[in-house]
A and B are shown apart, each in its own frame.
Chain A
């Protein structure tokens, strides 16, 4: 792996921009980024790109793909292609938001627990252990079932099952960094614990968390879709991918209903996984322990 990792060693100042970028120019990262960018474009331009209203019938029901309906129509005669495009607006931003919140909450909790240790650390980590002891999809299902179906409830449920991953990761980083010389030095010159933590430890611990989050993005997209597939996420008539696949599952002779959103989901999940793997390789983050 690359040796000019910015974190572990701290790259020497003045390195030329091109050489800093070069490690990132690998097929995994480029390919992943292109697909992700395409989907970002779809999210922004869904209204322009979609040939039909995703919510209203635009033709006879259950039509096979044709010139008028590229991916056919569903049980209510809505255009599957248009719904698939609009579906990106639901799944992807929500997955990103879910991750951001999980990362923020998890990192904060993990950093504080790791730095201060003691009973607080024990309590927080046991709580994290308890949450992680459950299969995540099952726990998320239980939480959404209790809250009632809805995308926001799915969001809350996934944050609840997801924060411990980052809390653990961050805690581990903080534990290994807090005895480093620069931290000892900071403390020696009289810096308070909070400042030491957030100025000298957390910034250097973020990379593995962010790489981990990138890789997890695909999983979270699938989780949101799974909850919707089970009827616990998106509410009809919302064009959420998981919900669309449910519809396709009960009409499997009309293969096109589930195929569009299925392929869309596979493409974005693969892309973010490639991107995440590539970033991990470049940034030389130790293989995650989960």
Chain B
């Protein structure tokens, strides 16, 4: 998920989170005051698991949502046509048992599993897929870009879906593993105000209904959602797959603060803590009542530069100046300060491990080189303001990160002033392309690297083409179109070239690709980081 949506969706939340800081402080005192830790809250017997995470949900309509927590929810409640494996994102059947594309990747055929039924017991039919995809496109919401280039969705019979695209799109099978493309029970949704018509953006009235109900074919159904408190899912008794749900009830509790997550995990109030800080890793490891593992992720935090912003220094128009900024970041120190060294540097906007990321050079700290570049560009003594949201994501506290960057840039003669903003205020400015320098985060939505060009490059239609205020890089536009006609090694090579092109643009400067601590009670097994879902509930189990 990504920020680009956040402001559209999360405004109300940020204010609450600010209060949350105070609440957290109070909670701390309360915790300190109560000495008797509760016994482990849940267990195999009750079949109820509680996950603690800082939630960024603002809608539970899968086709309007776009956020990290939404990935978990959509994945659990709305089965997709295909699924990605946890680690490497390989394709697996889900609602579609077979799938094939024509030779030039413009026509994609899915054969639905005849056993598949929705939570109300009605069969998953081609008309539901057609309706869901059309609604996703026509709502023109944050996740609608997954349907970009889709010309037609046809349902020749109840068990077959044929999607045709304007141009070759070899990434399409990957795209339909994204939870946002989950299939909705169209009859139920239509009854409750949803529509897939062309004007759905205006006429669809189902968003409120989706906050209280669900209509998917996933392992779980929505029981209740209280913003700022918890999201409760219960077992889908009609689940059609062979892998029955592992829990009767799944509670995702909103625990904004990492230290509170650890406290609650240690007290047994939650079974899994999803966002612990690496500074507490020693405590986690030494606690025998906990299980923990540190694994790599595909998430990252980056600096984004918008030379086109109204108050951006003229100097930012010069590629050499932007390149100097890249050299002026002391990556090792920043990674140490933000995630206690448990992260990697990343070359381009393609995260480490994604197709095309191999062979690109990771940046190095070179203050002298930065100075020389600035001098060459006539921009010595550069003054810049960094505006960023005051929050922590993937363990990276943006304020800590920028204070560290501020120190390293000082050595390169760059004077960086910091302007932390409330999330909503930041989001509005970011969305309008008003921030010369900011920091944002990104987690993959599906296992295909093409999303990174569609979002971060200066190719036609890319989100950052807008945010940066620069002009289109036609080489990248052609590269993306070319890559989508290719497969295999040829495509990987094109992706890699595009990665280098993005490095040369020097608009996106990845700072850290953090690892994550998978932490849970000792009776929890199968805790995981899932490439497109954050956590795959199918693998999570109680051992007793």
Contact = CB atoms under 8 A, between A and B. Distances in A.
A52 B422 CA distance: 31
A54 interface: no
B420 A230 contact: no
Interface in A124-156: 141, 145, 148-149
B384 to A, nearest CB: 15
A55 B406 CA distance: 10
A229 B23 CA distance: 12
Interface string A63-106: 00000000000011100000000000000000000000000000
A229 B403 contact: no
A236 B337 contact: no
B421 A253 contact: no
Contacts of A249: 21, 24-25, 28, 257, 259
A61 interface: yes
A62 interface: yes
Interface string B404-433: 101100000000001111100100000000
B341 to A, nearest CB: 10
B283 to A, nearest CB: 6
Interface in B194-243: none
Contacts of A226: 22
Nearest to B398: A236
A254 B400 CA distance: 15
Contacts of A56: 407
Nearest to A232: B18
Contacts of B22: 226, 229-230
A250 B258 contact: yes
Q: Among A75, A141, A149, A247, which residue has the most Cβ atoms of chain B within 10 A?
A: A75
Contact of A253 (B18, B283, B400, B422): B283
- Main SS of chain B's interface residues? helix
B85 interface: no
A237 interface: yes
B260 to A, nearest CB: 9
A57 B392 contact: no
A237 B403 contact: yes
Interface of A is mostly: loop
Interface string A226-239: 10011110011100
Nearest to B24: A249
Contacts of A254: 279
A11 B280 CA distance: 64
Given A75-B279, A230-B18, A236 B28 contact: no
A61 B397 CA distance: 15
Interface string B320-361: 000000000000010011000000000000000000000000
Nearest to A56: B407
A75 B421 contact: no
A81 B333 CA distance: 22
A246 interface: yes
A252 interface: yes
A226 B418 CA distance: 20
Contact of A229 (B25, B258, B280): B25
Contact of A237 (B277, B333, B406, B421): B406
B403 A230 contact: no
Given A75-B400, A230-B22, A249-B259, A148 B421 contact: yes
A75 B420 contact: no
A251 interface: yes
Contacts of B402: 236
Q: Which of B24, B280, B400, B421 has the most CB of A within 10 A?
A: B400
A253 B280 contact: yes
A77 B18 CA distance: 26
B473 interface: no
B21 A148 contact: no
B407 A62 contact: no
B24 A76 contact: no
Nearest to B341: A61
Given A229-B22, A230-B18, A62 B279 contact: yes
Contacts of B279: 62, 75, 251, 253-254
B277 A250 contact: yes
Contacts of B425: 148
Contacts of B406: 237
A145 B422 contact: yes
Given A250-B258, A252-B28, A253-B279, A231 B404 contact: no
Interface in A228-270: 229-232, 235-237, 246-247, 249-254
A237 B418 contact: yes
Contacts of A76: 337, 400, 403-404, 407
A146 to B, nearest CB: 10
A102 to B, nearest CB: 23
A229 B21 contact: yes
A235 B425 CA distance: 16
A56 B409 CA distance: 12
Contacts of B463: none
B165 interface: no
B477 interface: no
Contacts of B419: 148-149, 235
A234 B355 CA distance: 43
Contacts of A62: 279
Given A148-B425, A250-B258, A231 B283 contact: no
A55 B259 CA distance: 25
A143 to B, nearest CB: 13
A145 B397 CA distance: 20
Contact of B399 (A55, A236, A251): A236
B225 to A, nearest CB: 26
A261 to B, nearest CB: 14
A236 B28 CA distance: 24
B152 to A, nearest CB: 48
A231 B25 CA distance: 14
B451 interface: no
Contacts of A246: 21
10 closest cross-chain pairs (CB), A and B: A231-B390, A237-B403, A252-B259, A236-B399, A236-B403, A75-B400, A236-B418, A76-B337, A251-B279, A230-B18
Given A75-B397, A149-B422, A253-B259, 16 more contacts: A75-B279, A77-B337, A145-B422, A148-B419, A148-B421, A229-B21, A231-B390, A231-B422, A232-B18, A235-B420, A236-B403, A249-B21, A249-B25, A249-B259, A250-B259, A251-B279
18 contacts: A55-B407, A57-B407, A61-B337, A75-B279, A148-B425, A149-B420, A229-B25, A230-B19, A231-B18, A232-B18, A235-B420, A249-B25, A250-B257, A250-B259, A250-B277, A250-B397, A253-B259, A254-B279
Interface of B: 15, 18-19, 21-22, 24-25, 28, 257-259, 277, 279-280, 283, 333, 336-337, 390, 392, 397, 399-400, 402-404, 406-407, 418-422, 425
Interface of A: 55-57, 61-62, 75-77, 141, 145, 148-149, 226, 229-232, 235-237, 246-247, 249-254
